[in-house]
């Protein structure tokens, strides 16, 4: 019969949970950075050099702890002041290679992001403006010929209308649509068959055949659903 392992802390004897410790000592390590820490003692100061914020977990404040978890380094991912703008002006704008040049800093909705004069900007749009000039209209967007939203290579960027940009996404396969959408019950083959049955069978009968609501069949026939197919 297998012997159940116990906590490695001397004198504990409680069943092992994780990292060789029982649940209590593991939670103390997770919260305080030390399995022996007393959870009722006043919290100290962040152990990261130069930081005077209060301790949160793992020996660090909330910000340095989050960086430690994400990067394995309490200072990981933190860019020097001004380095984002320098990357745009000195690296991206002057880049003339054929491969993608990926934005190495913070992102918003998957796109590179930085602050300029207190306002948030998308990095790829800023690069496009500097190299290709201002957009032809306020409705124009920056399209990626490579399909990589993190790319800031000027040769991969161009001004495009929303329709042109969406067409690019479909061509690159970077937009979730049709049967790739998680909740979709229908395949492209089903949709084409449903369209072929328009006017041949009642919508309610078609809906029962494919296990969807009648309104779904109606919207497919009116091309309010699966409109691009």
Overall domain count for the chain: 2
Same domain, 168 and 182: no
Q: Which two tokens stand for residue 94?
A: 């002057």
Domain of residue 118, CATH code = 3.90.75
Q: Could you tell me the residue range of the domain that residue 88 belongs to?
A: 83-172
Q: What is the pLDDT of residue 93?
A: 93
Give the tens place of pLDDT for each residue, 44-85: 678 777 888 887 776 778 887 777 766 556 766 655 556 788
In this prediction, the residues of the chain whose per-residue pLDDT falls under 50 are 1-2, 41, 180-182
Tokens 């009722």 locate to 40
pTM over 0.85? The answer is no
Instruction: Specify the pLDDT at position 27.
Output: 80
Question: 104 and 143 in one domain?
Answer: yes
DSSP conformation letters of 39-84: TTSPP-B--STT--SBP-BTTB-HHHHHHHHHHSSTTTT-PPTTHH
Question: Does a structural domain hold residue 111?
Answer: yes
Cβ atoms of 160 and 185 within 8 Å: the answer is no
User: Does 136 fall in a domain?
Assistant: yes
Q: Which helix (H) or strand (E) holds 142?
A: strand 141-144
- Helix runs in the chain, H state only: 23-32, 62-71, 83-86, 123-132, 162-172, 188-196, 203-210, 214-221
Q: How many CB atoms neighbour CB 226 within 10 A?
A: 20
């Amino acid at each position: 019969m297998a012997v159940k392992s116990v906590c490695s802390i001397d004198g504990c004897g409680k069943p092992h949970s994780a990292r060789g410790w029982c649940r209590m000592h593991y939670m103390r390590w997770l919260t305080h950075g030390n399995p022996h820490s007393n959870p009722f003692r006043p919290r100290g100061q962040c152990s990261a050099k130069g930081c005077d914020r209060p301790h949160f977990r793992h020996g660090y404040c909330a910000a340095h702890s989050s960086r430690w978890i994400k990067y394995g380094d309490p200072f990981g991912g933190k860019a020097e002041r001004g380095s984002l703008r320098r990357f745009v002006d000195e690296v991206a704008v002057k880049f003339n290679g054929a491969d993608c040049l990926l934005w190495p800093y913070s992102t918003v909705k998957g796109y590179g992001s930085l602050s300029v004069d207190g306002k948030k900007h998308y990095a790829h749009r800023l690069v496009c403006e500097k190299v290709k000039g201002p957009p032809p209209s306020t409705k124009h967007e920056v399209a990626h010929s490579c399909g990589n939203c993190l790319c800031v290579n000027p040769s991969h960027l161009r001004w495009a209308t929303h329709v042109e940009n969406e067409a690019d996404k479909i061509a690159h396969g970077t937009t979730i649509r049709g049967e790739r959408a998680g909740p979709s019950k229908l395949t492209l083959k089903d949709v084409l068959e449903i369209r072929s049955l328009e006017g041949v069978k009642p919508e309610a009968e078609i809906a029962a055949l494919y296990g969807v609501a009648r309104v779904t069949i109606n919207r497919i026939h009116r091309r309010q659903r699966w409109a691009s197919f």
